[in-house]
Amino acid sequence: MDFGQLVPERALRLIEMKTLERYIIRRALFVFVMTLTAMTGVVWATQALRQLDLVTSKGQTIVQFISITMLAMPFLVVIVAPFALMIALILVLNALSSDSELIVINATGGSRWLVLQPVLLFALGVTSATALFSLYVAPQGLAQLRDEIARVRVDLVANIVRPGRFITVEDGLTFHIRNRSGDGKLDGLLLHDTRDPETIFTYQAHQGNIVEAAGRTLLIMQNGTIQRRPKRQGDISIVRFQSYAFDLSSLMPQASEPVYKASERSTYALIFERGIDDYARGNRERLIGELHNRMSQPLYPLAFSLIVFAFLGQARTTRQSRGMAILGALTGCILLRTAGFGVTSLTAGDDAMMISYYLVPLGGMGLAIWSILQSEHSAPLWLSRNLERITDGFEAIQQRLQGRTNGRGA
C-alpha cells in the first residue's frame, strides 16, 4: 500500500473512532443524568420523610425542611451513581445492538476496543466524580445536616412556640400564637407572665418576630397591649404599644456540641484525628471501616461498566437473546454491590479484613475483564451455554402458551 494512501486512511479511522466515542459518551451521559436524577430523587424522598418532624413538630417551614434534607443529597448520589451508570450503559449498548451499529462495527473490521474505550472513559469520569463526593462532598454535607438538626432542636420557636397551643416555658410563663408565617413572623401573639411576685402581666400583639441583637434574643411585638394586674388588690391597667421588646435570653435552651458519627467526619479526621473525642476513641473500628468504605466506593462504577460491557459489548444475533444478556448484566452488578454491602457489615471491627472492601469490586473487575478477553462471546462459555438453555426454556413456554391461546380461539 502506498504511504500516501496510508496516512489519510489512518486519519479517517481516527476521526471515525473519535466520532463514535463522542456519540456513545453523549448518549450515555444523557441517560445517566436522567436516571441519576430520578433515582436520587426517589431515595431522597424516602429519607426525607424521616425528618418530617422538622415541619410537623419543630415549626420549620417547607423551604427550611427541603434545604436541610438536601444536605444529604451528595451521600445519596454516591450510593445511586453506580446503578445509574449501569442502567445508562445497558440502554446505550442495547440500543447500539438494536440499531445494528455493533454489527456494522464488527463487519468493518473494528475491534471491541472501539466501543470499550468510550465506555471506560465515561466510567472513569463517573468514578472521579464519585470519589470527589465520597471523600469530600458527602461527609461535609452530612456534617452540616447534623449541625442544622442540632440547631433546630435548640431553636426557641421550634421547640416552644407552636401555633394553636398553649406552651408553658417555665413556671409562670405561657406562650400562645395563632399562626407562624413562612418568613418566621408570629401572628396573634399572647404571653401570660406570672413570675413577678406582685404583678401579673399579659401581653397581646397582632404580630411578633424573634431577633438577635447585642448578644441577646428579643421578641419584638408590634401593635398590642400590656395588661398589668396586681396579684392581691388593685385595678387592671392597660398600656398600648406600637413596638415592644421582650427579653427571651434566659429562656433559650443551651446548645450542646453535636457528636459527629463516622460518616459525618471528614476524610482528614478519619485518618489523623481518631482520638480527638470520646466518640472517636470508643469507635475506632467504625472510623477505620468508614475510611476504607469511602475509598472503595469509587471502584464500583468502573466495575459495573466492565460487567455491563462483558454481557452487552458484543454484537449478538436474535437467537442469542439480548434480553438474557441484560438480565445477566443486572444480576451481576446487583450481586457485586450486595457483596460490597455485606462486607461492610461483616468486617466491622476486624482490621485484617479491611482489604475485602477493595477485593470485592476489584474481583468483579477481574472477572469482567477475563470474560471480555475470551472468545467472541460477551460472557464466559459456560455462562453462554446456560443462557442458551434458559432461552430455549422460555421459548418453549411461549410456544405452549401460544398453542393454548390458538386452541381456545378455535
Q: What gap in Å lies between CA 68 and CA 360, rounded to an integer?
A: 34
In a domain, 384, yes or no: no
pLDDT at 225 over 90: yes
The top-scoring range by mean pLDDT among 103-112, 167-176, 210-219, 260-269 is 260-269
Query: Do 120 and 171 fall within a single domain?
Result: no
In a domain, 408, yes or no: no
pLDDT at 281 over 50: yes
Last residue of a domain, one of 251, 275, 299: 251
Query: Do 66 and 95 fall within a single domain?
Result: yes
Question: What pLDDT score was predicted for residue 1?
Answer: 44
Query: Do 143 and 280 fall within a single domain?
Result: yes
More confident site: 248 or 396: 248
Residue 335 pLDDT class (50, 70, 90 cuts): very high
Burial class from Cβ neighbours inside 10 Å (0-12, 13-18, 19+) for residue 279 reads middle
Query: Cα 63–66–68 angle (5° rounding)?
Result: 105
Question: What pLDDT score was predicted for residue 71?
Answer: 87
Taking residues 319-344, report their average pLDDT: 83
Query: Do 180 and 283 fall within a single domain?
Result: no
The residues, ordered by sequence, that sit 6+ positions from 347 with a Cβ below 8 Å of its Cβ are 289, 353, 354, 356, 357
Query: Do 48 and 142 fall within a single domain?
Result: yes
Q: What gap in Å lies between CA 201 and CA 234, rounded to an integer?
A: 14
Query: Do 84 and 207 fall within a single domain?
Result: no
Question: What pLDDT score was predicted for residue 4?
Answer: 46
The residues, ordered by sequence, that sit 6+ positions from 316 with a Cβ below 8 Å of its Cβ are 97, 322, 325, 378
Q: Provide the domain limits for residue 183.
A: 162-251
Question: What pLDDT score was predicted for residue 376?
Answer: 47
More confident site: 363 or 20: 363
Taking residues 204-231, report their average pLDDT: 84
Q: What gap in Å lies between CA 402 and CA 404, rounded to an integer?
A: 5
pLDDT at 367 over 80: yes
Query: Do 233 and 311 fall within a single domain?
Result: no
Query: Cα 28–31–35 angle (5° rounding)?
Result: 135
Mean pLDDT, the chain, whole residue set: 78
Question: What pLDDT score was predicted for residue 218?
Answer: 82
Last residue of a domain, one of 232, 251, 270: 251
Residue 294 pLDDT class (50, 70, 90 cuts): very high
Please give the radius of gyration of the chain, using alpha carbons only, rounded to the nearest integer: 32
Min mean pLDDT across 130-134, 163-167, 199-203, 329-333 is at: 163-167
In a domain, 247, yes or no: yes
Cβ atoms 166, 188 nearer than 8 A: no
Taking residues 2-12, report their average pLDDT: 47
Cβ atoms 253, 159 nearer than 8 A: yes
| Residue 297 Cα distances to 28, 81, 150, 293, angstroms | 21, 10, 29, 6
More confident site: 129 or 408: 129
Q: What gap in Å lies between CA 315 and CA 104, rounded to an integer?
A: 9
Query: Do 243 and 180 fall within a single domain?
Result: yes
Nearest Cα neighbor of 303 from 352, 357, 231, 262 is 357
Nearest Cα neighbor of 40 from 114, 154, 157, 141 is 141
| Residue 187 Cα distances to 54, 62, 137, 179, 218, angstroms | 20, 18, 39, 5, 16
Min mean pLDDT across 6-20, 223-237, 243-257 is at: 6-20
Query: Do 106 and 185 fall within a single domain?
Result: no
| Residue 310 Cα distances to 41, 80, 246, 303, angstroms | 30, 21, 71, 11
Strand partners, 179: 187
Nine-digit cell string for 87: 442502567
Cβ atoms 356, 347 nearer than 8 A: yes
Alpha helices in 167-296 (DSSP H): 267-272, 278-282, 284-296
Cβ atoms 353, 360 nearer than 8 A: no
- Which is it for strands 167-170 and 173-180: parallel, antiparallel or unpaired? antiparallel
Share of the chain above pLDDT 70, in %: 71
Q: What gap in Å lies between CA 61 and CA 63, rounded to an integer?
A: 5
User: What is the pTM (predicted TM-score) of this model?
Assistant: 0.68
Alpha-carbon dihedral angle through residues 192, 193, 194, 196, given to the nearest 10 degrees = -160
Q: What gap in Å lies between CA 314 and CA 337, rounded to an integer?
A: 24
Last residue of a domain, one of 225, 251, 277: 251
Nearest Cα neighbor of 285 from 184, 382, 182, 354 is 354
Query: Do 67 and 96 fall within a single domain?
Result: yes
Residue 358 pLDDT class (50, 70, 90 cuts): very high
Q: What gap in Å lies between CA 248 and CA 276, rounded to an integer?
A: 35
Cβ atoms 246, 218 nearer than 8 A: yes
In a domain, 409, yes or no: no
Taking residues 376-394, report their average pLDDT: 53
Question: What pLDDT score was predicted for residue 233?
Answer: 78
Query: Do 99 and 193 fall within a single domain?
Result: no
Fill in the DSSP letter of residue 249: G
The number of distinct structural domains making up the chain is 2
In a domain, 194, yes or no: yes
Residue 139 pLDDT class (50, 70, 90 cuts): very high
The top-scoring range by mean pLDDT among 101-110, 244-253, 289-298, 396-405 is 289-298
Min mean pLDDT across 87-96, 158-167, 278-287, 389-398 is at: 389-398
Cβ atoms 361, 291 nearer than 8 A: no
| Residue 173 Cα distances to 161, 164, 169, angstroms | 12, 16, 6
Question: What pLDDT score was predicted for residue 404?
Answer: 52
In a domain, 389, yes or no: no
In a domain, 9, yes or no: yes
Give the DSSP H or E segment for 184.
Answer: none
Give tens-digit pLDDT for 87-137: 999 888 887 777 666 666 665 555 677 788 889 999 999 999 999 999 999
More confident site: 259 or 318: 259
In a domain, 400, yes or no: no
Give tens-digit pLDDT for 31-71: 999 999 999 988 888 877 766 655 555 555 667 777 778 88
Question: What pLDDT score was predicted for residue 123?
Answer: 94
Query: Do 242 and 308 fall within a single domain?
Result: no
